[in-house]
Amino acid sequence: MIGTAAAGRPVSITGLGSRVPDRIVTNDELARLVDTSDEWIVERTGIRERHIAAPEMATSDMAIEAARCALRQRGIDATEINALIVCTVTPDHFFPSTACLVQNSIGAKGAWGFDLIAACSGFLYGLTVGANLVMAGTHKKVLVIGSDTMSRIIDYTDRATCVLFGDGAGAMLIEPASEGDDGSGFIDFLGEIDGSGGDFLKMPAGGSRQPASHETVDRKLHFVHQEGSQVFKYASRKMHEVCRDLLERNGLTVDDVGIMIPHQANIRIIKAAGDRLGIAPERVMINIERYGNTTAGTLPLATRDAIAEGRLKKGDIVMFAAVGAGYTVGASLWRWAY
């Protein structure tokens, strides 16, 4: 695995914003569409409900609101942003990038930016890239946004996938750590991609391999296809390994971690990883019951809820971790700065 330990100036996460669609869809509602039940979904995934975007709301709309929310919280103007990274697998279009749409709408004049595709690890990877831009000294304020409208690429006749996903977005601002706050901020990142697992979770058509055609639509190839148990086994093992290795190389143990904030794909994956790591369950953040798997949205939404519940406070070490389609794997350590 490749690591990126903090090597330049200290950098911190200084702001956070979020947006989830208003409409909540319960398990019982899905049980009216497909052959499933609230009991099965809760027991096998931990999910009770998810938020689903209205037809007129796209990924950039949630991203824009999350971005504005983060800027408001930090009390800065969009013109101060130097770079925007939008992590998503459900962009408004292939191009222009969703980052361009967000930049224009929030008025981040003069910023550069791009979209980053790493599925469920997207936000984690975006945070790492953003931290490195600020550490290098070339950028002062980088906004990292995770936004996904998974409901647009889900087949609501497929019970194996439609119960899992929800829509949502979150944003974090990365800046140089304030003077005298040297202990705060980015500590380390460890990551790995493993393309041998690419076929187990993907959207088969719509790209250059299988362009959109009547046939691809008829065969439902523009929806998420997943071999759940394969992904489940890989994610349970890798989530543990990457966290263990990251802690080890920093001379830390789970007792040093104030809170672990894992990607929210399945409560059983999260609990398996936590158990193998030996971290106390109350120090593992879980909010999957309310949002399902929002792909690039899970980490900022779970961080927001951890702060709101008083479980993440200034000075705490937070360990983010994710495994997603690709496969993409990673974990990072930060000392929380506010």
Residue ranges binding ligand UT7 (CB under 6 A) = 36, 40-41, 44-45, 120, 159-160, 163, 201, 228-229, 231-232, 235, 265-266, 269, 293, 324-325
Residue 257 in contact with residue 247, Cβ under 8 Å?
A: yes
Q: Nearest 5°: phi and psi at 321?
A: -150, 145
Nearest alpha carbon to residue 328 among 89, 111, 168, 155: 89
Residue 53 in contact with residue 151, Cβ under 8 Å?
A: yes
How near is the Cβ of 314 to ligand UT7 at its closest, in Å? 30
CA–CA separation, 281 and 17 (whole Å): 26
Nearer to ligand UT7, 208 or 229 (CB): 229
As given in the structure block, the two tokens for residue 212 are 């959109």
User: Catalytic one among 139, 162, 263, 266?
Assistant: 263
How near is the Cβ of 100 to ligand UT7 at its closest, in Å? 27
**C-alpha distances out from residue 139 to 80, 198, 224, Å:** 10, 34, 36
Nearest alpha carbon to residue 49 among 280, 289, 325: 289
How near is the Cβ of 197 to ligand UT7 at its closest, in Å? 10
Nearer to ligand UT7, 90 or 293 (CB): 293
Residue 262 in contact with residue 120, Cβ under 8 Å?
A: no
Nearer to ligand UT7, 36 or 97 (CB): 36
CA–CA separation, 298 and 76 (whole Å): 25
How near is the Cβ of 259 to ligand UT7 at its closest, in Å? 20
Nearer to ligand UT7, 158 or 245 (CB): 158
CA–CA separation, 280 and 224 (whole Å): 34
CA–CA separation, 334 and 185 (whole Å): 5
Q: Nearest 5°: phi and psi at 112?
A: -110, 175
CA–CA separation, 10 and 185 (whole Å): 6
User: Catalytic one among 120, 139, 243, 266?
Assistant: 120
How near is the Cβ of 73 to ligand UT7 at its closest, in Å? 27
**C-alpha distances out from residue 211 to 204, 205, 214, Å:** 10, 6, 10
Can you name the residues that pair with 282 across neighbouring β-strands? none
Q: Nearest 5°: phi and psi at 18?
A: -155, 165
Nearer to ligand UT7, 41 or 259 (CB): 41
- Is 293 considered catalytic here? yes
Q: Residue of minimal CB distance from ligand UT7?
A: 228
How near is the Cβ of 295 to ligand UT7 at its closest, in Å? 7
Nearer to ligand UT7, 40 or 112 (CB): 40
Residue 332 in contact with residue 242, Cβ under 8 Å?
A: no
Nearer to ligand UT7, 125 or 186 (CB): 125
Active site residues: 120, 263, 293
